Amino acid sequence: MNYLHVELVMIGGKTIIITITYRENSGKFNRIEHFIPLQILPEAELKDMQVDEAVLQKVKELKQKQIIEQDREFLVYSPTNILRIDPNKLSDLEKKYRIDFNKEKII
């Protein structure tokens, strides 16, 4: 499988956000976010750019590893909208048909 996706981007500052959300055995939810700032420059300005050789070497190693592991299956999770439901707000149908057992008298 090839996961390489090339898309043109506008020049300027960008941020890659990596978010991991998980639930512990105790039921507690945790969220870890990592922000990676990027500066997209026009090609003319790249001539004066200093390249970190250690980072360049790491990118080359990762690219080689990607070629070797092409046949592995990965799950791709697309961003999802978080839906928060307020338990104190009721829809019109809930207001009309809701039975509140706390207020009802049982004979």
The structural domain count of the chain equals: 1
Angstrom distance (rounded) from CA 30 to CA 24: 8
Reduce the DSSP state of residue 32 to 3 states and report it. Answer: strand
Which pLDDT tens digit goes with each residue over 39-89?
A: 888 878 777 778 888 988 988 888 887 666 666 666 666 677 776 777 777
Residues 99, 28: contact at Cβ < 8 Å?
A: no
More confident residue, 104 or 44: 44
Predicted local distance difference test score (pLDDT) of residue 1: 46
| Within a domain: 103 | no
pLDDT band at 97 (very low <50, low <70, confident <90, very high): confident
Residues 22, 29: contact at Cβ < 8 Å?
A: yes
| Within a domain: 61 | yes
C-alpha dihedral over 25, 83, 18, 63, to 10 degrees?
Answer: 100
| Within a domain: 7 | no
Determine if the pTM surpasses 0.85. Answer: no
| Within a domain: 30 | yes
| Within a domain: 87 | yes
Range of the domain at 75: 12-41+49-97
